[in-house]
Structure 1
Amino acid sequence: MKKSDPTEATAEAAPSQLIDAKIAALGDWQGETLARVRALIREADPEVVEEVKWRKPSNPLGVPVWEHDGIICTGETYKDRVKLTFAKGAALEDPSSLFNASLEGNTRRAIDFHEGDKIDEEALKTLIRAAVALNVSA
């Protein structure tokens, strides 16, 4: 994938367009990972709403956020990982032990994906559905 200019995304762009732009701007394994995780979230919950939050000059494309009756998870990128943070992750069953980051908090849990990691797609979709069910039940 080729990196693109994130400044091309305008303030009026729809959240899904901003997420598309972020994926294109990453252009490498991180973009591919974020795109795959996004596709799995949409497969797990066809009613998911995409948002972009926390836009600032140092991060003009913001942070992708997936919601269904509240935040399900966010997708952030760092130099060496893609982090999928579940807003209420500490309250979720994780039988496949996907959570591998932010384990010390009382609310959130995260999954860090590093270059070359294989995504357990079925387990991730199960976790997404559990997060949706928790949001809906609240």
Structure 2
Amino acid sequence: MNNSASPESKSPSQLIDARIEELGDWRGWMLSQLRGLIKEADPDVVEEWKWRGVPVWEDAGMICTGETYKAVVKLTFAKGASLEDPSGLFNSSLEGNTRRAIDFHEGDAINAEALKALVRAAVSLNKSKARK
């Protein structure tokens, strides 16, 4: 990858790669792990880069965003309030009528199977709404 290329000339996937690399700490590792699980759950997922630096995963609509903060990596599911969460992964943004989020802190374990189930449920919901 040409590091001198402007952000406008890079693909969303390249920009996400660069964000992971620039973080260079547990947040980069966590974002990388979450990204991999999203791709495993939905091989057709499309990566986007929105709002001046937020990784976004889409399939028939937005699935989730991956924001990084000083003390947390936050996966926000656009339609999370409409998803079943039998494993209780959602632990943030619980008060709204639409979104739900999962805050991951340094040292947190990822429940890979539950996360992939949420991603698949979000894709299924997007596709069911797209058919109407």
Please, what TM-score do these two structures have when normalized by structure 1? 0.89
Q: Matches of residues 48-59 of structure 1 in structure 2 within 5 Å?
A: 48-55=45-52
* Residues 56-75 of structure 1 deviation map (CA, whole Å, 9 limit, x = unaligned): xxxxxx00000001000000
Provide runs of 4+ in structure 1 moved above 4 Å: 6-9
Aligned partners of 1:9 and 1:18 also within 8 Å: no
Local SS of the residue matching 1:84: strand
1:79 aligns with 2:70: yes
Which residue of 22, 28, 33 corresponds with 2:25? 28
Cα root mean square deviation, aligned: 1.3
Aligned partners of 1:23 and 1:35 also within 8 Å: yes
Which residue of 9, 15, 18 corresponds with 1:18? 15
Q: What is the percent sequence identity of the aligned residues?
A: 70
1:93 aligns with 2:90: no
Q: Report the Cα offset of residue 8 of structure 1.
A: 6.4
Structure 2 residues without counterparts, runs of 5 or longer: none
| Alignment partner, residue 115 of structure 1 | 106
Q: Report the Cα offset of residue 94 of structure 1.
A: 0.1
Structure 1 residues without counterparts, runs of 5 or longer: 1-5, 56-61
Please, what TM-score do these two structures have when normalized by structure 2? 0.93
Letter in 2 for 1:113: F
Letter in 1 for 2:102: I
Q: How many residues of Structure 1 are paired with residues of Structure 2 in the alignment?
A: 127
